[in-house]
């Protein structure tokens, strides 16, 4: 089992990994098409999550929760990250994307029924 000190480091690790995603994408796209690169990134993510699931003995969601997670994940990765990767591939700077991409979360919150 993981101790509390290690658990407190997880948000820091998440921020570090997420914030380097735009830079990594900029360096990786010359070698693969945007959605191919995204697919490889997702394979790595799935492998990491399988390790974390085993490590933390995570419980699987009920079928409705699993369906919700799959829909949200598909939309985030196909629409948001796919759009980001395609924009970088067509020449938009990673810095410009980092400037306005937080707005997507705000727009989603405004459109939320709750």
Residue 23 contacts residue 94 (beta carbons within 8 Å): yes
Residues in the chain: 114
Residue with the larger pLDDT of the pair 78 and 112 = 78
State the Cα–Cα distance between residues 9 and 5, nearest whole angstrom.
7
pLDDT in tens, 61-89: 899 999 998 898 888 888 888 888 888 88
pLDDT at 1: 58
Q: Tokens 């699993």: give the residue.
A: 66
The mean-pLDDT minimum among 30-44, 67-81, 90-104 falls in 90-104
Of all residues in the chain, the percent with pLDDT exceeding 70 is: 97
Q: Is the pLDDT of residue 102 over 80?
A: no
pTM for this one? 0.68
Mean pLDDT for 33-38 is: 90
State the Cα–Cα distance between residues 61 and 64, nearest whole angstrom.
8
How big is the CA angle at 29 (ends 31 and 73), to the nearest 5 degrees? 125
Domain map (residue ranges) of the chain: 22-111
Residue with the larger pLDDT of the pair 6 and 35 = 35
């Amino acid at each position: 089992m993981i101790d509390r000190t290690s658990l407190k480091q997880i948000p820091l690790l998440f921020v570090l990994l997420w914030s380097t995603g735009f830079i990594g994408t900029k360096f990786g796209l010359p070698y693969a098409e945007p959605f191919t690169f995204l697919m490889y990134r997702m394979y790595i993510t799935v492998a990491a999550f399988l390790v974390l699931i085993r490590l933390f003995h995570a419980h699987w969601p009920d079928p409705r929760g699993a369906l919700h997670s799959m829909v949200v994940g598909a939309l985030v990765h196909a629409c948001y990250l796919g759009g980001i990767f395609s924009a970088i591939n067509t020449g938009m700077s990673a810095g410009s994307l980092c400037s306005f991409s937080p707005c997507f979360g705000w727009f989603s919150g405004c459109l939320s029924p709750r």
